[in-house]
Amino acid sequence: MTPLPASAGFVIIGAGIHGLSTAWHLAMELKAKGKGSGADIVVLDKSAPGAGASGIACGLLRGFYMTEAMHPLIRHSLDVWTYDRVTFGFQQVGYVSCGEKNQLPDYERIHKSQNANDYPSDLYTGKEAAVFLRKIWPDLNVNGIDVVLHEKMSGYSGTRQAMRGLAEKCEEHGVRIYSGVEVTGYDMTGDVVKKVRTNRGDIACDAVVLGLGAWTPRHWAMLGLSDKIDCRYADGAVAKAKDMWTYWRLVEGEVLVDEPYLTSEKKDPPIFKAELMNTPVVDPTTGKKEGDFTYVYWKYAAERTRAPGIQGGSVPVKIGPSAMVDPYGHASDLYQSGDAFRDYFCAAMAMFMTRFKDIRKNYIERRNGGIGAFTPDNLPVIDWIKDNVYLIADSNHGYKLTGVGKLVAHHLATGDPVGELAPFGFSRYAQGRTFGKTNSNSPWV
Ligand SMILES: Cc1cc2nc3c(=O)[nH]c(=O)nc-3n(C[C@H](O)[C@H](O)[C@H](O)COP(=O)(O)OP(=O)(O)OC[C@H]3O[C@@H](n4cnc5c(N)ncnc54)[C@H](O)[C@@H]3O)c2cc1C
Protein backbone atom coordinates (compact mmCIF):
# COMPACT_ATOMS: atom_id res chain seq x y z
CA MET A 1 0.00 0.00 0.00
CA THR A 2 1.53 3.36 -1.02
CA PRO A 3 1.91 5.49 2.11
CA LEU A 4 -0.06 8.75 2.19
CA PRO A 5 1.95 11.97 2.13
CA ALA A 6 2.09 13.85 5.44
CA SER A 7 1.07 17.05 3.67
CA ALA A 8 -0.07 18.41 0.34
CA GLY A 9 -0.85 21.84 -1.07
CA PHE A 10 -4.26 20.78 -2.33
CA VAL A 11 -6.26 17.84 -1.04
CA ILE A 12 -9.14 17.01 -3.35
CA ILE A 13 -11.73 14.70 -1.84
CA GLY A 14 -13.71 12.56 -4.27
CA ALA A 15 -12.46 11.13 -7.57
CA GLY A 16 -15.59 11.80 -9.61
CA ILE A 17 -16.04 14.19 -12.53
CA HIS A 18 -15.39 17.27 -10.44
CA GLY A 19 -12.52 16.06 -8.27
CA LEU A 20 -10.65 14.70 -11.28
CA SER A 21 -11.41 17.56 -13.67
CA THR A 22 -10.33 20.07 -11.02
CA ALA A 23 -7.14 18.14 -10.21
CA TRP A 24 -6.10 17.79 -13.86
CA HIS A 25 -6.76 21.45 -14.70
CA LEU A 26 -5.20 22.67 -11.47
CA ALA A 27 -2.01 20.74 -12.25
CA MET A 28 -1.85 22.45 -15.66
CA GLU A 29 -2.66 25.90 -14.22
CA LEU A 30 -0.07 25.68 -11.44
CA LYS A 31 2.58 24.68 -13.96
CA ALA A 32 1.59 27.35 -16.48
CA LYS A 33 1.68 30.06 -13.83
CA GLY A 34 4.98 28.82 -12.38
CA LYS A 35 3.24 28.22 -9.06
CA GLY A 36 3.72 24.49 -8.74
CA SER A 37 2.59 21.32 -10.48
CA GLY A 38 0.52 18.18 -10.14
CA ALA A 39 2.92 17.09 -7.40
CA ASP A 40 1.17 19.60 -5.12
CA ILE A 41 -2.18 17.84 -5.52
CA VAL A 42 -3.56 14.64 -4.04
CA VAL A 43 -6.98 13.18 -4.79
CA LEU A 44 -8.51 10.89 -2.18
CA ASP A 45 -11.37 8.50 -2.80
CA LYS A 46 -12.81 6.07 -0.30
CA SER A 47 -13.42 3.63 -3.14
CA ALA A 48 -11.90 4.47 -6.52
CA PRO A 49 -12.34 6.87 -9.45
CA GLY A 50 -15.91 6.65 -10.76
CA ALA A 51 -17.32 4.96 -7.64
CA GLY A 52 -20.05 7.60 -7.33
CA ALA A 53 -22.60 9.00 -9.77
CA SER A 54 -19.86 9.75 -12.30
CA GLY A 55 -19.39 6.03 -12.94
CA ILE A 56 -23.04 5.13 -13.50
CA ALA A 57 -24.56 8.20 -15.16
CA CYS A 58 -26.05 8.37 -18.63
CA GLY A 59 -23.18 10.73 -19.43
CA LEU A 60 -25.12 13.28 -21.44
CA LEU A 61 -23.75 16.68 -22.29
CA ARG A 62 -26.55 19.02 -23.35
CA GLY A 63 -27.14 22.71 -23.02
CA PHE A 64 -30.93 22.77 -22.69
CA TYR A 65 -31.24 24.94 -19.60
CA MET A 66 -33.87 27.53 -18.83
CA THR A 67 -31.35 28.92 -16.33
CA GLU A 68 -29.19 30.98 -18.66
CA ALA A 69 -26.29 31.20 -16.18
CA MET A 70 -25.69 27.52 -16.92
CA HIS A 71 -24.94 28.15 -20.61
CA PRO A 72 -21.38 29.51 -20.22
CA LEU A 73 -20.53 26.57 -17.93
CA ILE A 74 -21.81 24.11 -20.52
CA ARG A 75 -19.66 25.79 -23.15
CA HIS A 76 -16.56 25.22 -21.01
CA SER A 77 -17.60 21.60 -20.52
CA LEU A 78 -17.76 21.15 -24.25
CA ASP A 79 -14.14 22.34 -24.44
CA VAL A 80 -13.16 19.73 -21.88
CA TRP A 81 -14.97 16.82 -23.54
CA THR A 82 -13.64 17.70 -26.99
CA TYR A 83 -10.08 18.31 -25.73
CA ASP A 84 -9.46 14.60 -26.20
CA ARG A 85 -12.66 12.99 -27.36
CA VAL A 86 -11.08 9.57 -27.89
CA THR A 87 -9.71 9.31 -24.36
CA PHE A 88 -13.00 10.54 -22.90
CA GLY A 89 -15.18 8.48 -25.25
CA PHE A 90 -17.09 11.61 -26.26
CA GLN A 91 -19.62 11.02 -29.03
CA GLN A 92 -20.67 14.35 -30.46
CA VAL A 93 -24.02 13.29 -31.88
CA GLY A 94 -26.03 16.39 -30.95
CA TYR A 95 -29.16 16.70 -28.83
CA VAL A 96 -32.77 17.19 -29.85
CA SER A 97 -35.29 18.50 -27.35
CA CYS A 98 -39.01 18.39 -28.18
CA GLY A 99 -41.70 20.38 -26.39
CA GLU A 100 -45.24 21.67 -26.51
CA LYS A 101 -46.46 25.23 -27.13
CA ASN A 102 -46.41 26.07 -23.42
CA GLN A 103 -42.60 25.98 -23.48
CA LEU A 104 -42.13 27.95 -26.69
CA PRO A 105 -40.94 31.16 -24.96
CA ASP A 106 -38.45 29.08 -22.94
CA TYR A 107 -37.13 27.42 -26.09
CA GLU A 108 -36.73 30.83 -27.74
CA ARG A 109 -34.76 32.16 -24.77
CA ILE A 110 -32.57 29.07 -24.59
CA HIS A 111 -31.87 29.19 -28.32
CA LYS A 112 -30.88 32.86 -28.13
CA SER A 113 -28.67 32.42 -25.10
CA GLN A 114 -26.97 29.29 -26.45
CA ASN A 115 -26.03 31.02 -29.68
CA ALA A 116 -24.78 34.04 -27.73
CA ASN A 117 -22.55 31.63 -25.77
CA ASP A 118 -21.04 30.00 -28.85
CA TYR A 119 -23.11 26.83 -28.37
CA PRO A 120 -24.94 26.71 -31.70
CA SER A 121 -28.51 25.45 -31.82
CA ASP A 122 -31.38 25.57 -34.30
CA LEU A 123 -35.01 26.14 -33.38
CA TYR A 124 -37.93 24.66 -35.33
CA THR A 125 -41.65 25.14 -34.75
CA GLY A 126 -44.87 23.69 -36.18
CA LYS A 127 -44.52 21.90 -39.53
CA GLU A 128 -40.82 22.71 -39.78
CA ALA A 129 -40.27 20.88 -36.51
CA ALA A 130 -42.04 17.80 -37.83
CA VAL A 131 -40.04 17.84 -41.07
CA PHE A 132 -36.77 18.22 -39.19
CA LEU A 133 -37.55 15.33 -36.83
CA ARG A 134 -38.81 12.99 -39.54
CA LYS A 135 -35.62 13.52 -41.51
CA ILE A 136 -33.66 11.99 -38.63
CA TRP A 137 -36.23 9.47 -37.38
CA PRO A 138 -38.72 8.68 -40.18
CA ASP A 139 -40.87 6.64 -37.79
CA LEU A 140 -41.18 9.37 -35.14
CA ASN A 141 -44.68 10.21 -33.93
CA VAL A 142 -44.65 14.00 -34.02
CA ASN A 143 -48.15 14.46 -32.57
CA GLY A 144 -48.08 16.97 -29.75
CA ILE A 145 -44.59 18.24 -30.59
CA ASP A 146 -44.81 21.97 -31.31
CA VAL A 147 -41.22 23.07 -30.86
CA VAL A 148 -37.80 21.49 -31.30
CA LEU A 149 -34.33 22.66 -30.34
CA HIS A 150 -31.36 21.00 -32.01
CA GLU A 151 -28.03 21.45 -30.22
CA LYS A 152 -25.34 20.52 -32.69
CA MET A 153 -22.36 20.31 -30.31
CA SER A 154 -23.91 18.15 -27.58
CA GLY A 155 -23.30 14.46 -27.09
CA TYR A 156 -22.49 11.82 -24.54
CA SER A 157 -19.53 10.06 -23.01
CA GLY A 158 -19.29 6.42 -22.03
CA THR A 159 -19.04 6.97 -18.29
CA ARG A 160 -16.42 4.34 -17.46
CA GLN A 161 -14.20 5.50 -20.29
CA ALA A 162 -14.67 9.16 -19.30
CA MET A 163 -13.61 8.44 -15.73
CA ARG A 164 -10.60 6.40 -16.78
CA GLY A 165 -9.67 9.18 -19.18
CA LEU A 166 -9.86 11.89 -16.53
CA ALA A 167 -7.81 9.80 -14.09
CA GLU A 168 -5.19 9.26 -16.83
CA LYS A 169 -4.99 13.02 -17.46
CA CYS A 170 -4.42 13.61 -13.75
CA GLU A 171 -1.67 11.04 -13.56
CA GLU A 172 0.01 12.32 -16.74
CA HIS A 173 0.30 15.66 -14.95
CA GLY A 174 1.75 14.22 -11.77
CA VAL A 175 -1.39 14.23 -9.60
CA ARG A 176 -1.45 11.38 -7.09
CA ILE A 177 -4.81 9.59 -6.77
CA TYR A 178 -5.27 7.46 -3.67
CA SER A 179 -8.08 4.89 -3.80
CA GLY A 180 -9.42 3.30 -0.64
CA VAL A 181 -8.70 6.39 1.46
CA GLU A 182 -11.75 7.61 3.35
CA VAL A 183 -11.87 11.08 4.82
CA THR A 184 -13.30 10.72 8.30
CA GLY A 185 -13.03 14.28 9.61
CA TYR A 186 -11.40 17.68 9.50
CA ASP A 187 -8.88 19.08 11.96
CA MET A 188 -9.83 22.74 12.14
CA THR A 189 -8.52 25.92 13.68
CA GLY A 190 -11.34 28.42 13.46
CA ASP A 191 -12.58 28.27 9.87
CA VAL A 192 -9.38 26.79 8.48
CA VAL A 193 -8.86 23.08 7.87
CA LYS A 194 -5.31 22.31 8.99
CA LYS A 195 -5.46 18.58 8.42
CA VAL A 196 -7.73 16.17 6.65
CA ARG A 197 -8.30 13.06 8.77
CA THR A 198 -8.47 9.76 6.94
CA ASN A 199 -8.67 6.06 7.73
CA ARG A 200 -4.98 5.91 6.82
CA GLY A 201 -3.71 8.91 8.75
CA ASP A 202 -3.84 12.70 8.61
CA ILE A 203 -2.75 14.93 5.75
CA ALA A 204 -1.83 18.54 6.48
CA CYS A 205 -3.00 20.83 3.69
CA ASP A 206 -3.20 24.40 2.43
CA ALA A 207 -6.56 23.98 0.72
CA VAL A 208 -9.27 21.34 0.38
CA VAL A 209 -11.61 20.83 -2.58
CA LEU A 210 -14.76 18.78 -2.12
CA GLY A 211 -16.16 16.87 -5.11
CA LEU A 212 -18.30 14.51 -3.12
CA GLY A 213 -21.53 14.10 -5.09
CA ALA A 214 -24.17 12.32 -2.99
CA TRP A 215 -21.83 12.33 0.04
CA THR A 216 -21.69 16.15 0.15
CA PRO A 217 -24.31 16.52 2.94
CA ARG A 218 -22.25 14.26 5.22
CA HIS A 219 -19.17 16.48 4.87
CA TRP A 220 -21.28 19.62 5.11
CA ALA A 221 -22.31 18.39 8.56
CA MET A 222 -18.72 17.38 9.47
CA LEU A 223 -17.70 20.97 8.74
CA GLY A 224 -20.36 22.19 11.16
CA LEU A 225 -22.62 23.78 8.53
CA SER A 226 -26.38 24.02 8.95
CA ASP A 227 -28.80 21.62 7.29
CA LYS A 228 -31.43 24.39 7.00
CA ILE A 229 -31.21 27.60 5.04
CA ASP A 230 -33.32 30.70 4.36
CA CYS A 231 -33.54 31.31 0.63
CA ARG A 232 -34.15 34.85 -0.59
CA TYR A 233 -35.40 35.44 -4.11
CA ALA A 234 -34.97 38.40 -6.46
CA ASP A 235 -38.63 39.44 -6.00
CA GLY A 236 -38.13 39.78 -2.23
CA ALA A 237 -39.80 36.48 -1.33
CA VAL A 238 -38.13 34.40 1.37
CA ALA A 239 -38.44 30.65 1.86
CA LYS A 240 -37.50 30.06 5.48
CA ALA A 241 -35.61 27.05 6.80
CA LYS A 242 -35.48 25.04 3.59
CA ASP A 243 -33.52 21.80 3.63
CA MET A 244 -30.00 22.55 2.48
CA TRP A 245 -29.80 19.13 0.81
CA THR A 246 -32.53 16.96 -0.68
CA TYR A 247 -31.88 13.50 -2.06
CA TRP A 248 -33.48 12.41 -5.30
CA ARG A 249 -33.49 9.07 -7.03
CA LEU A 250 -32.27 9.32 -10.62
CA VAL A 251 -34.09 6.77 -12.72
CA GLU A 252 -32.55 5.30 -15.83
CA GLY A 253 -32.56 2.01 -17.67
CA GLU A 254 -31.38 0.18 -20.76
CA VAL A 255 -32.99 -1.80 -23.55
CA LEU A 256 -31.54 -3.93 -26.29
CA VAL A 257 -32.70 -3.19 -29.82
CA ASP A 258 -33.41 -5.79 -32.49
CA GLU A 259 -32.01 -3.54 -35.22
CA PRO A 260 -29.20 -1.04 -34.69
CA TYR A 261 -30.69 2.29 -33.54
CA LEU A 262 -29.70 4.65 -36.37
CA THR A 263 -30.89 7.74 -38.21
CA SER A 264 -32.30 7.58 -41.73
CA GLU A 265 -28.71 8.21 -42.86
CA LYS A 266 -27.47 5.24 -40.83
CA LYS A 267 -25.72 7.42 -38.27
CA ASP A 268 -25.65 7.40 -34.47
CA PRO A 269 -28.73 9.58 -33.70
CA PRO A 270 -28.72 12.71 -31.60
CA ILE A 271 -29.79 12.29 -27.99
CA PHE A 272 -33.59 12.38 -28.07
CA LYS A 273 -35.50 14.17 -25.33
CA ALA A 274 -39.19 15.00 -25.16
CA GLU A 275 -40.97 16.87 -22.42
CA LEU A 276 -44.66 17.17 -23.24
CA MET A 277 -46.03 18.64 -20.05
CA ASN A 278 -49.67 18.18 -21.07
CA THR A 279 -49.43 14.76 -22.69
CA PRO A 280 -49.68 11.57 -20.61
CA VAL A 281 -47.59 8.53 -21.44
CA VAL A 282 -49.94 5.84 -22.73
CA ASP A 283 -48.61 2.48 -23.84
CA PRO A 284 -49.75 2.12 -27.48
CA THR A 285 -49.95 -1.68 -27.16
CA THR A 286 -51.86 -2.03 -23.89
CA GLY A 287 -53.60 1.36 -23.83
CA LYS A 288 -52.48 1.70 -20.20
CA LYS A 289 -51.63 5.14 -18.90
CA GLU A 290 -48.15 4.98 -17.40
CA GLY A 291 -47.76 8.62 -16.39
CA ASP A 292 -49.56 11.96 -16.33
CA PHE A 293 -46.96 13.78 -18.37
CA THR A 294 -44.18 12.89 -20.76
CA TYR A 295 -40.53 13.36 -19.94
CA VAL A 296 -38.00 10.98 -21.48
CA TYR A 297 -34.55 11.00 -22.98
CA TRP A 298 -32.44 8.32 -24.60
CA LYS A 299 -29.27 7.72 -26.53
CA TYR A 300 -27.48 4.90 -28.26
CA ALA A 301 -25.54 2.95 -25.64
CA ALA A 302 -23.83 -0.11 -27.10
CA GLU A 303 -20.75 0.70 -25.02
CA ARG A 304 -22.87 -0.11 -22.00
CA THR A 305 -25.27 -2.76 -23.22
CA ARG A 306 -22.54 -4.65 -25.12
CA ALA A 307 -24.92 -5.21 -28.00
CA PRO A 308 -27.01 -2.71 -29.94
CA GLY A 309 -28.90 -0.97 -27.18
CA ILE A 310 -30.27 2.23 -25.74
CA GLN A 311 -29.97 3.93 -22.39
CA GLY A 312 -32.36 6.58 -21.17
CA GLY A 313 -34.29 7.99 -18.28
CA SER A 314 -36.98 10.26 -16.97
CA VAL A 315 -37.43 12.86 -14.24
CA PRO A 316 -35.86 12.02 -10.88
CA VAL A 317 -38.01 11.06 -7.90
CA LYS A 318 -37.70 13.02 -4.67
CA ILE A 319 -36.58 11.10 -1.56
CA GLY A 320 -36.14 13.83 1.07
CA PRO A 321 -33.47 15.33 3.34
CA SER A 322 -31.96 12.02 4.34
CA ALA A 323 -31.04 8.87 2.46
CA MET A 324 -28.92 5.77 2.84
CA VAL A 325 -26.00 6.74 0.61
CA ASP A 326 -23.89 3.64 1.23
CA PRO A 327 -23.79 1.22 -0.41
CA TYR A 328 -24.07 3.46 -3.45
CA GLY A 329 -25.53 3.07 -6.92
CA HIS A 330 -26.15 -0.41 -8.24
CA ALA A 331 -25.01 -1.87 -4.92
CA SER A 332 -27.92 -0.23 -3.10
CA ASP A 333 -30.99 -2.37 -2.37
CA LEU A 334 -33.13 0.71 -1.87
CA TYR A 335 -32.83 3.02 -4.82
CA GLN A 336 -33.06 1.14 -8.10
CA SER A 337 -35.10 2.38 -11.05
CA GLY A 338 -37.81 -0.26 -10.58
CA ASP A 339 -40.79 -1.60 -12.52
CA ALA A 340 -42.72 1.68 -12.70
CA PHE A 341 -39.82 3.31 -14.50
CA ARG A 342 -39.42 0.35 -16.84
CA ASP A 343 -43.08 0.44 -17.86
CA TYR A 344 -43.12 4.21 -18.27
CA PHE A 345 -39.90 4.31 -20.27
CA CYS A 346 -40.78 1.46 -22.63
CA ALA A 347 -44.29 2.87 -23.18
CA ALA A 348 -42.81 6.28 -24.02
CA MET A 349 -40.32 4.74 -26.44
CA ALA A 350 -43.11 2.87 -28.18
CA MET A 351 -45.30 5.99 -28.16
CA PHE A 352 -42.67 8.01 -30.02
CA MET A 353 -41.06 5.57 -32.44
CA THR A 354 -42.85 2.68 -34.16
CA ARG A 355 -39.56 0.76 -34.31
CA PHE A 356 -39.94 0.38 -30.51
CA LYS A 357 -43.48 -0.99 -30.47
CA ASP A 358 -42.35 -4.27 -28.85
CA ILE A 359 -39.48 -2.85 -26.84
CA ARG A 360 -40.80 -3.89 -23.44
CA LYS A 361 -39.52 -7.47 -23.94
CA ASN A 362 -36.00 -6.12 -24.53
CA TYR A 363 -35.69 -4.16 -21.30
CA ILE A 364 -32.52 -5.21 -19.49
CA GLU A 365 -33.66 -6.36 -16.06
CA ARG A 366 -30.72 -5.29 -13.97
CA ARG A 367 -29.90 -2.66 -11.40
CA ASN A 368 -29.88 0.86 -12.72
CA GLY A 369 -30.02 4.46 -11.54
CA GLY A 370 -28.59 6.08 -8.43
CA ILE A 371 -29.19 8.87 -5.96
CA GLY A 372 -27.97 12.42 -5.79
CA ALA A 373 -27.99 15.34 -3.34
CA PHE A 374 -29.72 18.43 -4.72
CA THR A 375 -29.33 22.02 -3.49
CA PRO A 376 -32.29 24.19 -2.37
CA ASP A 377 -32.79 25.56 -5.91
CA ASN A 378 -31.55 22.46 -7.75
CA LEU A 379 -28.59 24.31 -9.23
CA PRO A 380 -24.93 23.98 -8.33
CA VAL A 381 -23.18 25.53 -5.36
CA ILE A 382 -19.58 26.22 -6.37
CA ASP A 383 -17.83 28.32 -3.75
CA TRP A 384 -15.64 28.59 -0.68
CA ILE A 385 -17.59 27.24 2.29
CA LYS A 386 -14.76 27.62 4.82
CA ASP A 387 -11.65 29.79 4.57
CA ASN A 388 -9.73 27.08 2.74
CA VAL A 389 -12.46 24.63 1.72
CA TYR A 390 -13.89 24.90 -1.77
CA LEU A 391 -17.12 23.04 -2.59
CA ILE A 392 -18.28 21.78 -5.97
CA ALA A 393 -21.82 20.51 -5.36
CA ASP A 394 -23.31 20.15 -8.82
CA SER A 395 -26.90 19.23 -7.89
CA ASN A 396 -26.56 16.37 -10.37
CA HIS A 397 -25.77 18.28 -13.52
CA GLY A 398 -22.29 16.73 -13.52
CA TYR A 399 -21.46 15.50 -17.02
CA LYS A 400 -22.66 18.85 -18.30
CA LEU A 401 -20.35 20.60 -15.87
CA THR A 402 -16.95 19.04 -16.50
CA GLY A 403 -15.77 22.53 -17.40
CA VAL A 404 -16.35 23.68 -13.82
CA GLY A 405 -13.08 21.99 -12.81
CA LYS A 406 -11.26 24.11 -15.37
CA LEU A 407 -12.77 27.33 -14.00
CA VAL A 408 -12.24 26.35 -10.36
CA ALA A 409 -8.62 25.45 -11.13
CA HIS A 410 -8.05 28.91 -12.54
CA HIS A 411 -9.49 30.49 -9.42
CA LEU A 412 -7.47 28.26 -7.08
CA ALA A 413 -4.21 28.84 -8.93
CA THR A 414 -4.57 32.60 -9.37
CA GLY A 415 -7.03 33.78 -6.73
CA ASP A 416 -8.83 35.69 -9.51
CA PRO A 417 -12.63 35.67 -9.41
CA VAL A 418 -14.24 33.75 -12.27
CA GLY A 419 -17.31 35.51 -13.67
CA GLU A 420 -19.00 32.35 -14.94
CA LEU A 421 -18.99 30.88 -11.42
CA ALA A 422 -20.33 33.98 -9.65
CA PRO A 423 -24.05 33.12 -10.02
CA PHE A 424 -23.41 29.81 -8.24
CA GLY A 425 -21.88 31.26 -5.08
CA PHE A 426 -23.33 30.08 -1.77
CA SER A 427 -24.11 33.68 -0.79
CA ARG A 428 -26.86 33.78 -3.43
CA TYR A 429 -29.35 32.30 -0.98
CA ALA A 430 -28.80 35.09 1.55
CA GLN A 431 -28.45 37.85 -1.00
CA GLY A 432 -31.70 37.36 -2.92
CA ARG A 433 -30.18 35.57 -5.90
CA THR A 434 -31.69 32.13 -5.28
CA PHE A 435 -32.67 30.71 -8.64
CA GLY A 436 -36.43 30.69 -9.14
CA LYS A 437 -39.03 28.45 -10.68
CA THR A 438 -38.72 26.98 -14.18
CA ASN A 439 -41.40 25.75 -16.54
CA SER A 440 -40.73 22.02 -16.42
CA ASN A 441 -41.56 18.85 -14.52
CA SER A 442 -37.84 18.22 -14.12
CA PRO A 443 -35.69 19.79 -11.41
CA TRP A 444 -32.81 19.94 -13.90
CA VAL A 445 -33.62 23.06 -15.86
C1 LIG B 1 -28.18 7.45 -12.59
C2 LIG B 1 -27.57 8.80 -12.85
C3 LIG B 1 -27.57 9.32 -14.14
C4 LIG B 1 -27.02 10.56 -14.40
N5 LIG B 1 -26.99 11.02 -15.70
C6 LIG B 1 -26.37 12.20 -15.97
C7 LIG B 1 -26.27 12.66 -17.30
O8 LIG B 1 -26.66 12.01 -18.24
N9 LIG B 1 -25.68 13.86 -17.51
C10 LIG B 1 -25.21 14.61 -16.48
O11 LIG B 1 -24.73 15.72 -16.74
N12 LIG B 1 -25.27 14.17 -15.22
C13 LIG B 1 -25.84 12.99 -14.94
N14 LIG B 1 -25.91 12.56 -13.67
C15 LIG B 1 -25.34 13.38 -12.61
C16 LIG B 1 -23.83 13.20 -12.57
O17 LIG B 1 -23.51 11.87 -12.69
C18 LIG B 1 -23.31 13.77 -11.25
O19 LIG B 1 -23.74 15.09 -11.14
C20 LIG B 1 -21.79 13.75 -11.19
O21 LIG B 1 -21.28 12.51 -11.59
C22 LIG B 1 -21.33 14.09 -9.79
O23 LIG B 1 -19.94 14.06 -9.80
P24 LIG B 1 -19.12 14.34 -8.48
O25 LIG B 1 -17.69 14.36 -8.91
O26 LIG B 1 -19.65 15.53 -7.79
O27 LIG B 1 -19.46 13.12 -7.51
P28 LIG B 1 -19.33 11.54 -7.63
O29 LIG B 1 -19.12 11.05 -8.99
O30 LIG B 1 -20.47 10.97 -6.87
O31 LIG B 1 -17.98 11.24 -6.85
C32 LIG B 1 -17.87 11.40 -5.46
C33 LIG B 1 -16.74 10.51 -4.99
O34 LIG B 1 -16.48 10.82 -3.62
C35 LIG B 1 -16.05 9.63 -2.99
N36 LIG B 1 -16.22 9.80 -1.55
C37 LIG B 1 -17.38 9.88 -0.86
N38 LIG B 1 -17.15 10.05 0.45
C39 LIG B 1 -15.80 10.06 0.62
C40 LIG B 1 -14.93 10.19 1.74
N41 LIG B 1 -15.41 10.35 2.99
N42 LIG B 1 -13.59 10.13 1.53
C43 LIG B 1 -13.08 9.97 0.27
N44 LIG B 1 -13.87 9.84 -0.83
C45 LIG B 1 -15.21 9.89 -0.66
C46 LIG B 1 -16.95 8.56 -3.61
O47 LIG B 1 -16.37 7.27 -3.48
C48 LIG B 1 -17.06 9.04 -5.06
O49 LIG B 1 -16.14 8.38 -5.91
C50 LIG B 1 -26.46 11.31 -13.36
C51 LIG B 1 -26.45 10.80 -12.05
C52 LIG B 1 -26.99 9.55 -11.80
C53 LIG B 1 -26.95 9.00 -10.40
pLDDT digits (tens, 9 = 90+) for 214-263: 999 999 999 999 999 999 999 999 999 999 999 999 999 999 999 899 99
Candidate from 4, 47, 54 with most ligand 1 atoms within 8 A of CB, to mutate: 54
E-strand stretches of 180-293: 183-189, 192-198, 201-210, 228-232, 238-243, 246-250, 252-256, 271-276, 281-282, 289-291
Angle between the N-to-C axes of helices 403-414 and 70-83, in degrees from 0 to 180, rounded to the nearest 10: 100
Torsion sign over Cα 185, 191, 193, 194:
negative
What is the residue with the minimal CA distance to atom 48 of ligand 1? 52
Taking the mean position of all CA atoms in its chain, how far away is CA 104? Answer: 25
pLDDT the model gives residue 222: 98
pLDDT tens, residue by residue, 273-292: 999 999 999 999 999 999 99
Candidate from 20, 43, 208, 212 with most ligand 1 atoms within 8 A of CB, to mutate: 212
- CA–CA separation, 158 and 59 (whole Å): 6
Q: Which residues line ligand 1 (CB under 6 A)?
A: 13-19, 44-47, 51-54, 56-60, 182-183, 211-215, 250, 252, 369-370, 372, 394, 396-400
Contacts of 265 (CB under 8 A, 6+ apart): none
Give the DSSP H or E segment for 341.
helix 338-352
At position 180, the amino acid (one-letter code) is: G
Q: Tell me how far the alpha carbon of residue 161 lies from the centroid of ligand 1, in angstroms.
A: 15
pLDDT tens, residue by residue, 171-205: 999 999 999 999 999 999 999 999 999 999 999 99
pLDDT the model gives residue 374: 97
pLDDT tens, residue by residue, 312-336: 999 999 999 999 999 999 999 999 9
pLDDT the model gives residue 276: 98
Q: Which CATH number is 1-85+157-235+377-445's, of 3.40.50.2300, 3.40.50.300, 3.30.70.360, 3.50.50.60?
A: 3.50.50.60
**pLDDT of 152 over the 90 cut:** yes
Q: Is 312 left (phi over 0), alpha (psi -120 to 50) or beta?
A: beta
**pLDDT of 435 over the 80 cut:** yes
Q: Tell me how far the alpha carbon of residue 409 lies from the centroid of ligand 1, in angstroms.
A: 19
At position 101, the amino acid (one-letter code) is: K
